[in-house]
């Protein structure tokens, strides 16, 4: 297993449940990631926790391992900022996965870095690539790939995905497979592609590609983007947000109480809410 090299990721960290979250801004995260590409070294993994991640980390040992070995951990969810305040160690800012995705692509276009988009709903990576190229004409998208459902259990398809990424020689790989699949894939397979940095971005392809509408800016600023998404997709997201946020609160309260007798539930959860279907790998010059 590749060694972890945190040379370009030196931010103070705040504990939220089983996650050690880096205290940095969006701009600092973008700069650190692009510096890592320039510096070379072992492939790095970037994860973007929200409330759902913190809850899943309680019961999924493989997910905890991926988080423990992640090189950069940025707070995607506004709920993590509130949780850090309750604990007396305030995270500096929310670094939404979709904002990190877009800002990194803007910087990649400026620096001539090559990007690869893996995952998302069928066609969403291609739509996101088109939208990004329209916004950042100099962006080099070297490939998109939407693997089939359950590909992580198929050695042949896993090998095909890794080979496609290696052949494309990207500097940045954006991984939209949903949690915990994307984090576990990055840790156990993504590092083997040799890509300098892999970033988990959840449902960002759908938003950037125009499949899903993002909340207006004022809703984002008051920390209620989760509520906007819940209203758009209540049947799919009610459990994640309503039950998940309550579970996050309990985790934080238990952390504050210093209940050292608590042990994580050993039951492994592997469900992912991202719908993946078979689609061909595509490359663009």
Residue-wise pLDDT for 149-186, tens only, equals 899 999 999 999 999 999 999 999 999 999 999 999 99
Q: Are residues 119 and 196 in the same domain?
A: yes
**Residue 126's domain spans which residues?**
14-208
Q: Is 276 part of any domain? A: no
Q: Are residues 176 and 223 in the same domain?
A: no
Q: Is 7 part of any domain? A: no
Q: Is 275 part of any domain? A: no
For the stretch 50-61, pLDDT in tens is 999 999 999 999
Q: Report the DSSP pairing between strands 197-200 and 44-47.
A: parallel
Q: Are residues 175 and 232 in the same domain?
A: no
Structure tokens belonging to residue 75: 């707070």
* Structural element, H or E, at residue 31: helix 26-39
Show which of 208, 243, 277 is a domain's final residue: 208
Per the structure, the count of domains in the chain is 2
Q: pTM (2 decimals)?
A: 0.86
Q: Are residues 138 and 229 in the same domain?
A: no
Spatial separation of the C-alpha atoms in residues 39 and 31, rounded to whole Å: 12
Q: Are residues 184 and 55 in the same domain?
A: yes
Q: Is 44 part of any domain? A: yes
DSSP letter for 214, please.
Answer: P
Q: Are residues 170 and 228 in the same domain?
A: no
Spatial separation of the C-alpha atoms in residues 159 and 174, rounded to whole Å: 18
């Amino acid at each position: 297993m590749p060694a972890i090299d945190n040379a370009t990721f030196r931010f103070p960290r705040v504990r939220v449940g089983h996650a050690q979250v880096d205290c940095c801004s969006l701009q600092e995260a973008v700069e650190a990631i692009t510096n890592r590409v320039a510096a070379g070294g072992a492939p790095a993994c970037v994860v973007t926790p929200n409330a759902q991640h913190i809850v899943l980390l309680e019961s999924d040992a493989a997910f905890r391992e991926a988080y423990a070995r992640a090189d950069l951990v940025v707070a995607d969810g506004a709920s993590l900022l509130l949780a850090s305040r309750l604990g007396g160690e305030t995270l500096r800012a929310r670094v939404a996965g979709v904002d990190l995705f877009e800002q990194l692509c803007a910087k990649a276009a400026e620096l001539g870095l090559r990007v690869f988009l893996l995952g998302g709903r069928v066609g969403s990576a291609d739509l996101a690539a088109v939208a990004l190229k329209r916004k950042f004409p100099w962006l080099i998208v070297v490939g998109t790939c939407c693997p089939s459902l359950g590909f992580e259990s198929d050695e042949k398809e896993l090998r095909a995905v890794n080979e496609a990424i290696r052949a494309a020689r990207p500097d940045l790989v954006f991984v939209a497979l949903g949690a915990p699949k994307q984090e576990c894939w990055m840790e156990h397979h993504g590092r083997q592609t040799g890509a300098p940095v892999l970033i988990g971005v959840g449902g960002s392809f759908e938003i950037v590609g125009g499949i899903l509408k993002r909340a207006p800016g004022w809703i984002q600023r008051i920390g209620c983007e989760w509520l906007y998404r819940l209203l758009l997709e209540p049947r799919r997201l009610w459990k994640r947000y309503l039950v998940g946020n309550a579970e996050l609160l309990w985790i934080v309260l238990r952390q504050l109480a210093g209940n050292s007798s608590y042990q994580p539930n050993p039951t492994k959860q592997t469900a992912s809410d991202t719908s993946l279907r078979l689609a061909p790998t595509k490359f663009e010059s």
